[in-house]
Every structure is written in C-alpha cells, then in structure tokens.
Chain A
Amino acid sequence: MVDVTAILLQGTPEATVLALAALGELVLERAGLINLGLEGMLYFGSALAAYVAVSTGSLVAGFAAGMLAGILLALVYILLVVGLKADQAVTGLALVFLGIGLGDVIGSATQGALAPALSGLGESLVMFTVLILLPAILYIILYRSWHGYTLRSLGEDEDAARMLGVNVTATRILAVLVAGAAAGTAGAFFLMGPSNGRWSAGRAIGWGWLALGTVILGYWHPVGVVAAAYLLGVLYAVTPLLQELGMHAALADAVPYIVVVAALTVISWMYERVGVKPPAAVWRR
C-alpha cells in the first residue's frame, strides 16, 4: 500500500528550494527582465554557504553567505544588463558558468567537512515561510500595491511605465537584487536542509534550471509558482517509488521532466484561452 500522505510531504524541502529561487526570479521577470543565471546563483549560494558555515560553524552565517553569493552574481548582472544594456540571455548563461566554476573552487575548500544542518523544526519553519507566507506577501505586493503595479507595468511596456513616472533603472536593480538574494538563499537552504550540511561538487546542479522552469510552469504568478514548485517536489519524491514498482532507476529519473513538458503544454494552451498572460517583455508571440 502506498502511503499517499508521506509522498505528499516528502518532496516539500525540494519544493521549498525551487519555490524560493523561483519567487525571486518571478519578481525579476515581472520587471521585464530574464535571468538565465539562476542555476549559477543557486549553486554559488550553496557553495559559499558551505564554506562560511563550515569555517564559522554558524547556521545564520551560512544563510547570510548564501544570500551574499546570490547578490554578488546579481551585481554582475546589474552591471551588464541594467548598466551596459548587454544581452540578458548571454549574461545569464555566463553567470551559470561563473557560479558553477567559482562554486566548485570555493566549495571544494570545505574538503568534505559537514556544515551545520537545520533542525527538523527549523526546516519546517523555512518551508512554511517560503511556501505559505512568501507567496501571500508577494501576491499582496505585486497585485494590491502601487509598487507592485509599477513593477508589473515594467514587464508589460517599459515606455508606458516610464510615462507613469516609474524609475525604471532603480526598480530593475531592486528586482535583480531580490532575485539574486532569493536564489542564493535557496542554495543555502538546499545545503543545510535537504543535503544535511554536506557539500559535494555537482550536488546542487540542475535545481536552478528547474526553478527557472517553475516560473514558467507557474505562469508568472506567485500562487502558480508555489503550486508548480510543489508539483515538482512531489514528482521528485515519487521517482524512488517508480523504481520500487520495477522501473529502471535512470528511466525513473526522466519521468519528472516528461511530466513538466506535458504539464507546460497543457497549461500554456489552457491559460491562453482563459486570458492569463506572461509579462509581455519576457514572452511575446
């Protein structure tokens, strides 16, 4: 007999990692930018968190370092994309490489030492904050406040936003900083939550890309993003179960990705009919 409740809860830590990074990216994309560098920010975040948490033995310092790592890469993004108007896709992709490269150098300096891990209670607290409180707050800010309105207007039409009196540069800088801090913190949580403080090269690979997918799957809405993150978390938890049912481990690994493609196809088709639209500056057809 399959324990459904266990499955529904099991993927929550992974869903939290995805949701945190994705909610940050959501803010950035609603401001009319796109940052493919999420993967690098999350990875660098987990590495710097590991390095600092191992050397200080402090959980808080680890989280702060993770956030700082994300912000550092966000500053590079700001310099190039907001400052120099360079191409966003290339900048983001280069940040992926930069984050993974620097992350491996810094993370390997921990030489396998364990960083402090979150207690069960601490982990639940973070999960509650990220999966329940954060989307609610973000929803209120984005859809029920003037600041949210101006931010979203940037994602629809930059010139119109400027006419509204929006300070385009300042708003975008703030959005990128939020995205970087969220991704870096997600990396730190990944290390000290689901990974129990053990950093190893390549472990955090792929989560940033999935988080980027989470934004699209959640159709650029805070509630949708958390729902999508949760779906992916559950799928992640189901994978070992498929193996127990006799599916080859490597093939079971592919199942979540196939489900995402199918879900995205259905969702895009459905939402377009209902009239829900992504930010025009990010995704136009």
Chain B
Amino acid sequence: MRIALEPRGPTEKRNPLLYGLAGLAAGFALSILLGALTPVGVTGVARALYVNLSEPRFWLLSLPYFAPIAASAAGLALAYRAGFITIGSEGQVILGAVVAYGLLYFMLSQLHPVLALAVAMAAAALAGALYGLVVGALRVYLGANETLVSLMLNYIAVALVNYLVAGPWQSGPFTRTEPLPDRFWISGLASAIVTTVFIVLLEALYVYTRLGIAVDSISRARRAAETYGVDPGRAILVVAALAGAAAGLGGGLYMAAEQHQLLSLGKQGLGYGYMGILAAWLAGLRPAATIAAGLLITLLYNMFVSLQLQGIPASFVLAFEAVIVLSVLASTTLSRYRVVIRHG
C-alpha cells in the first residue's frame, strides 16, 4: 500500500481559507501543547494566549509592531512572487529606523512635527529602497545570490546601529541614543493606519498595473512573461526597491511609534523583518492578506511580554509562531492536493 498526494484539478480545489482556518486552529492547539516544555505548563501558556487575544489593551499594545512586520510582509509578498528570495527586510527595517531617528533628532527638530515626520518616513522608505536595490542590482547584473547578499546586508545594518549607539550618537554611559523629543512620538494606531494604507497601495499596484503581471509571470512562466514584453531584470529591480521601501517605512514608523531611540542590537537585530517573511507566506503572498497575517503575528509577538513576566524565555513565542505557520502551511497545501491510497 502506498500513500501519495495528487494535485487536484482546477475545478475540484478546496477552499484554501477554510483549510487555512482549520490549520490555524490546529496550530494553536499544538503550540499550546508545546507549553508543557515551559515552567508554567500547558495551562499557563493557554492562559497567556487567552489574555492576549481577548483583552483590547493587548491589541493596542501590540499595534506598534504591526508596522515593521506587516509592511515588510507586503513588500516581500511581491518579491517572492517574482522569485526574488530576499531575506533583507530585517536590515531594511533597521536602516529605516536609523534614518528616521537621525533626521528627526539631528536635522528636522525645528520643523513642524507633522511635516518632519512625513519627511522622515519618506526618507526611511527611500533608504530601505536603496538598500534593497543593492541586493537587486547585484542579482540582476552580476548574478550574486540574493538570499545570501541580503542576509549579509542585515548583519551590516545591525553593525551600523551598534556602531552609532556606542560611537557618534551615544548618549550617557549606556549604548543608546537620546530619545526623540515627544512631539515626534506617534501612537501605535497611527502607525498601523499608515502601514495599512501603504499595503493597500501595494495591493493596488499588484492588481491594477502591469507590475502584477510581471511579478506573477517571470518566475513561473518565463515564456508568457516574454510574450507580454516583461523585462525580468527590471521587474526584479522594481520589487527589490518596493520591498525595501516597505520595510524601511515600517522601520521608520516603529521608531516613531514605539522605540523612540536607538538601542544596541547585539547580534540578533530586531527580528521584525524575519517575522515579516513568515507573515508574507502566511498571507499566501498576497499583499492585502498581509494585513491579517501581520496582525496575527503581531498579536502573538506581543505575547512575549506576558510570557516573560512568568519566567518563560521570550523567544518561546518564536516556537509558538513557527508551529502555527507550519500548521497553516500544511493545511493550505492539503487543499490543493488529494490524498490517494494505492494498493499493490
């Protein structure tokens, strides 16, 4: 007897949303079971999860993380559709935060807050786009693997922050900068709204412009792309810049809404860019769907606060997110296949 998966025909595909929700439920159940490994046990983790998802207070607290995670995810969705497997949103988020902080603190402090913030966010997006273009250009013109190059650029961005907070921008004995003046602080809700608007714009670009056709065709149907007159190199440069801009903007918003100052990053970076990758795939690589996927990852991420208070390593939440993503991934994949049992 052999068990095999066969692709379903176009007419017999199951509703991926339904399968996705079932996967989500199974993922939650599984990841709560993982709580058995922690000092608080299954019930402790279940309680932390319940509190985080049921109390509006926690939704509000988690909103500042939405910008870097969901914005990265929306940009990456386009990049991955084009077969451009970058993992550079982490570095771009960090660079966006650095640029936004630098401009707001050192150059625009006399300007009207709204104007200064607008300029700083645009510059953060631009910085992210340029950083993304470096990866795109090396891939398109020199054939360098974008996954590795973007990863290296992440570490370079981390090193830049560590240098700034321990060098020219350091304030006081600790490795961090002065906080931004509070007239430049925005609420988590405001940052989430700006992010959502930006994601909707990306979705519109994907649905209503030639870019959508280009990104969908160059990785999966080269010949179709050529028939449409799509230039693959150019399309990759565009998505590299767009994904970078999205992540950079997310970083700028995160700086204004939550962090307000630069802190030493150690080796790890912030991690939001990597969560953005999870959110992008969780959203089925559809920019608009990253709003929901980003919100889910954000809410889960915020759980770390309550877990930490109970003495569980904060990164346990990473395992939690991973199990949920894997479970949704398995279930949505199953919606496209049929399980066949062959005898003999």
Contact = CB atoms under 8 A, between A and B. Distances in A.
A213 to B, nearest CB: 5
Contact of A251 (B153, B163, B323, B334): B163
Which of A102, A205, A272 is packed against the most chain B CB atoms within 10 Å? A102
A124 B278 CA distance: 39
B330 A101 contact: no
B152 interface: yes
A134 interface: no
Interface stretch (A56-64, A83-91, A113-121, A150-158): A83-91
Given A105-B37, A105-B38, A100 B152 contact: no
Interface string B127-163: 0000000000010001111011101110110011011
A258 B320 CA distance: 34
Q: SS class of chain A's interface: helix, strand, loop or mixed? A: helix
A91 B329 contact: yes
Q: SS class of chain B's interface: helix, strand, loop or mixed? A: helix
A251 B312 CA distance: 33
Contacts of A89: 80, 85, 281
Nearest to B150: A261
A243 interface: no
| Contact-residue bracket for chain B | 35 or more
Which of A36, A97, A205 is packed against the most chain B CB atoms within 10 Å? A97
B319 to A, nearest CB: 3
B267 A97 contact: no
A196 interface: no
| Contact-residue bracket for chain A | 35 or more
27 contacts: A86-B330, A90-B281, A97-B278, A97-B318, A97-B319, A98-B319, A100-B319, A101-B318, A101-B320, A102-B316, A104-B314, A105-B37, A108-B313, A201-B315, A206-B267, A217-B148, A250-B163, A251-B163, A253-B159, A257-B153, A261-B149, A264-B144, A264-B149, A268-B144, A268-B145, A269-B143, A285-B143
Interface of A: 36, 76, 79-80, 84-87, 89-91, 93-98, 100-106, 108, 201-202, 205-206, 209, 212-213, 216-217, 248-251, 253-254, 257-258, 260-261, 264-265, 268-269, 272, 283, 285
Closest 8 CB pairs of A and B: A101-B319, A254-B159, A250-B163, A101-B318, A250-B162, A98-B322, A97-B322, A90-B281
